[in-house]
């Protein structure tokens, strides 16, 4: 059994801690690796290495950093199959889906680092007194990237690009549940030693990393519960954090749209990656005028999401990441049923090995149920019928979360009204669209810190203004 190691200053090293855990393939329940659970000493060494490497990395020209990072992206794209296979083994994602997302993430990483070439790291502005103001945006120094398991490679690349291109070094802590793809990702990297360091483990590595005063920014992606702890710690230290947390994303389906095509789109939004996407559609509000054909088509679509091992070509829906996650999903469905919901598809834990759960459609749901208020993170589409678009919009907006939202409508006035939903991203007549120019900040408990595009570089740097008096 392979025991995974940390990458510290360019050298693969055994963890200094004495706690380890098994990484389990959720489709077979087989142990596939042994992973260190993290120790403060590992974190200290990784931050030391990142501190040492940072000045030389920042001293390279922006173009040189962009060039080196782009080459890494090309290598990642060339190894997308292998990385997707590792993601499948560690967290169950179907290989084809993983490959597509990793390819997209490598392209996105290249585009994001290329933005450094346009970013104003230094700008000179004439001052009213005839002098000048020079604004210098310098890297923060050492940064921490902490990611979850649901898109191990894409989440990591999404956070790393602007931080590195801006001249920061990084200590990366992947999820304890999906460390294998992270190890391979860094094996494929050809950057100076210490520019990216890897510390494996759970909160035993994450908490000391967040608490290290030498870390200038923590880019955290994960649950609201852990994000709150990270925010408390970085707040006490007066350090920056970007917190990209959980959601309970609504989708409003208006009268006047094609019920069958929209049901297919909603099925994908609710079931893709077994519902384990932070922006999965987790609440469906459908207009009563089209409710019947829409629900019928959604139930039919659910039946096409074939459950299985993500290595099999016929599999559309892989297992959930682990037993704990499946228990949450089963609990939400049971709670809904006990309060009067009807299971129209799925809803039963399959017999046998693996942490599988089928694509499930619930009707007769309301906001007294966990499945409509708490993040489920499973392949569940709970459908509430509303009597007007306005009611759908209101109920979509009434949530403590505010990550993303989707509206399907043919009415231009309703398209315009979609922006009233408080969320970082609102999609109209599509889901997951938008290019690299996307700029957003989650609302409510879904996190804080604007990111995407230029905002990612603003977050990765600290501006200093140098005012120079006019020449005498
Ligand atoms: P999690 O909060 O349990 O863990 C996320 C990461 O944080 C892991 O690496 C974990 O080891 C680490 N961690 C846990 N406690 C910590 C602490 N006290 N200090 C520092 N690090 C700590 O979340 P998860 O179960 O791995 O991921 C699923 C969650 O992530 C869902 O809520 C999902 O919505 C969210 N998510 C959000 C986004 C987004 O962009 N907003 C994207 C993907 C996933």
CA of 259 to the centre of ligand 1 (A): 35
Smallest CA-to-CA distance from 109 within 166, 159, 174, 169 is with: 159
CA of 387 to the centre of ligand 1 (A): 37
Confidence of residue 472 (pLDDT cuts 50, 70, 90): confident
Give one word for 191, left, alpha or beta, with left for phi > 0 and alpha for psi -120 to 50: beta
Number of domains in the chain: 2
Domain co-membership, 266 together with 207? no
Q: How many CB atoms lie within 10 A of CB 417?
A: 16
CA of 221 to the centre of ligand 1 (A): 5
For residue range 6-62, list pLDDT tens digits in order: 999 999 999 999 999 999 999 999 999 999 999 999 999 999 999 999 999 999 999
Domain co-membership, 271 together with 354? yes
Domain co-membership, 280 together with 362? yes
- Provide the pLDDT for residue 13: 98
Which structural domain range is residue 383 located in? 250-435
Domain co-membership, 452 together with 321? no
For residue range 114-133, list pLDDT tens digits in order: 999 999 999 999 999 999 99
- Residue 328 Cβ inside 6 Å of ligand 1? The answer reads no
> Is 440 among the domain residues?
no
- Provide the pLDDT for residue 433: 84
- Residue 374 Cβ inside 6 Å of ligand 1? The answer reads no
Q: Using CA positions, which residue lies closest to atom 11 of ligand 1?
A: 202
Comparing 107-121, 136-150, 292-306, 423-437, the range with the smallest average pLDDT is 423-437
> Is 175 among the domain residues?
yes
Q: What percent of the chain has pLDDT over 90?
A: 97
For residue range 444-453, list pLDDT tens digits in order: 999 999 988 8
Q: How many CB atoms lie within 10 A of CB 395?
A: 18
Q: Is the model's pLDDT at 113 over the cut of 80?
A: yes
Question: 3-state DSSP: the chain helix, strand, coil percent, rounded to 5?
Answer: 40, 25, 35
Domain co-membership, 73 together with 183? yes
Domain co-membership, 134 together with 266? no
In degrees, rounded to 5, the angle at the alpha carbon of residue 37 between the alpha carbons of residues 33 and 42 is 115
Mean local confidence (pLDDT), 131-157: 98
DSSP conformational letter for 234 = H
Domain co-membership, 179 together with 155? yes
- Provide the pLDDT for residue 323: 97
CA of 148 to the centre of ligand 1 (A): 5
Counting Cβ atoms within 10 Å, is residue 467 exposed (0-12), middle (13-18) or buried (19+)?
Answer: exposed
Q: What percent of the chain has pLDDT over 70?
A: 100
pTM score, whole prediction: 0.97
Domain co-membership, 126 together with 226? yes
> Is 441 among the domain residues?
no
DSSP conformational letter for 194 = T
244 catalytic? Reply is: yes
- Provide the pLDDT for residue 380: 98
Domain co-membership, 160 together with 211? yes
Smallest CA-to-CA distance from 276 within 297, 249, 308, 295 is with: 249
CATH number at residue 151: 3.40.605.10
Domain co-membership, 56 together with 122? yes
Mutate to test the pocket of ligand 1, among 223, 404, 440 (most ligand atoms within 8 A of CB): 223
């Amino acid at each position: 059994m392979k025991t995974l190691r940390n990458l510290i200053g360019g050298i693969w090293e055994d963890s200094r801690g004495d706690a380890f855990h098994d990484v389990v393939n959720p489709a077979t329940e087989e142990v596939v690796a042994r992973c260190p659970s993290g120790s403060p000493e590992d974190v200290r060494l990784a931050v030391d290495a990142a501190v040492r490497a940072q000045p030389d990395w920042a001293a390279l020209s922006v173009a040189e950093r962009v060039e080196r990072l782009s080459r890494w992206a090309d290598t990642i794209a060339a190894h997308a199959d292998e990385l997707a296979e590792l993601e499948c083994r560690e967290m169950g994602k179907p290989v084809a889906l993983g490959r597509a997302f990793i390819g997209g993430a490598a392209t996105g990483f290249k585009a994001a680092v290329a933005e450094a070439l346009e970013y104003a790291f230094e700008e000179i502005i004439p001052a009213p007194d005839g002098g000048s103001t020079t604004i210098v945006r310098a890297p923060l120094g050492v940064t921490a990237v902490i990611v979850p398991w649901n898109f191990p490679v894409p989440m990591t690349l999404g956070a790393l690009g602007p931080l590195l291109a801006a001249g920061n070094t990084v200590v990366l802590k992947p999820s304890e549940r999906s460390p294998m793809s992270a190890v391979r990702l860094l094996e494929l990297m050809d950057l100076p030693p210490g520019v990216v360091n890897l510390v494996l483990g759970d909160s035993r590595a994450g908490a000391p990393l967040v608490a290290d005063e030498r870390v200038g920014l923590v880019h955290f992606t994960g649950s609201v519960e852990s994000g709150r702890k990270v925010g408390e710690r970085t707040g006490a230290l007066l350090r920056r954090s970007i917190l990209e947390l959980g959601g309970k994303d609504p989708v409003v389906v208006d009268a006047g749209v094609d019920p069958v095509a929209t049901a297919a789109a909603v099925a994908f939004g609710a079931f893709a990656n077994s519902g384990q996407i932070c922006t999965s559609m987790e609440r469906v509000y459908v207009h009563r005028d089209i409710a019947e054909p829409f629900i019928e088509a959604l139930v039919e679509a659910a039946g096409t999401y074939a459950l299985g091992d993500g290595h099999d070509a016929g599999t559309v829906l892989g297992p959930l990441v682990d037993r704990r996650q499946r228990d949450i999903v089963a609990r939400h469905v049971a709670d809904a049923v006990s309060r009067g919901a009807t299971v129209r598809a799925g809803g039963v834990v399959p017999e046998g090995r693996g942490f599988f759960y089928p694509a499930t459609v619930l009707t007769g749901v309301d906001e007294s149920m966990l499945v409509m208020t708490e993040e489920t993170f499973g392949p569940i589409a709970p459908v509430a019928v509303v009597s007007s678009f306005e009611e759908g919009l209101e109920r979509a907006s009434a949530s403590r979360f505010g990550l993303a939202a989707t509206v399907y409508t043919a009415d231009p006035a309703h398209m315009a009204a979609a922006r009233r939903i408080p969320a970082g991203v609102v999609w109209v007549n599509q889901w997951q669209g938008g290019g690299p120019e996307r700029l957003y900040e989650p609302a409510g408990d879904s996190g804080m810190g604007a990111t995407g595009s230029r905002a990612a570089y603003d977050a990765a740097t600290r501006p200093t203004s140098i005012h120079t008096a006019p020449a005498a």
